[in-house]
Amino acid sequence: MGLFSTINIAASGMSLERLRTDVIADNIANASSTRTDEGGPYRKSTVIAAAKSGAQYRGFFVPTDYDNGAGSGVKVMEIKKDMSEGRLVYDPTHPDAIKSGPRAGYVEYPNINIVTEMVDLISASRAYEANSSVIQGSKEMFQEALEIGR
């Protein structure tokens, strides 16, 4: 594992968590948006991430059958829209109320649960802090190694 591999891996995690935070903030901001440019209510967005390939380091104490290597960080695969149905609220005076059919008079609101979004936001914040701590610890370890060499 190279000198900066740890920092690069943690930095990719920080980038991912920052994007997750932005997407969650967008979801919260649009929790009451009943009309979008595409038509219909706003749909919740979710960040889909995957491990970067190209691991070259293998653990010493893990059997080779179970060890995929340390990895080289994470990457964003896509930002996916959740197309599940939103909550329906009866309000026939609302401009976006359904005009005809069995759901006439109902307004479809986004499929966003504010409590779930806040929990996800806290999770993203803690993961960002953890990756930041890894970078700080690596930096301190490198500085100590330089001091030993003096």
Indicate if the alpha-carbon torsion angle 89, 94, 96, 99 is positive or negative.
positive
Cα–Cα distance, 124 to 4 (Å, whole number): 24
Answer whether 78's CB lies under 8 Å from 48's CB: yes
Over the stretch 74-116, which tens digit does the pLDDT of each residue have? 999 999 999 999 999 999 999 999 999 999 999 999 999 999 9
The model carries a pTM of 0.82
Over the stretch 59-84, which tens digit does the pLDDT of each residue have? 555 566 655 555 678 999 999 999 99
Answer whether 86's CB lies under 8 Å from 111's CB: yes
Tell me the two tokens of residue 35: 């009309």
Cα–Cα distance, 75 to 12 (Å, whole number): 7
Task: Indicate the angle between helix axes 5-29 and 114-149, nearest 10 degrees.
Answer: 160
Task: Measure Cα distances from 110 to 58, 86, 95 in Å.
Answer: 45, 5, 16
- Residues β-bridged to residue 45: 81
Highest mean pLDDT among 49-53, 84-88, 127-131, 137-141: 127-131
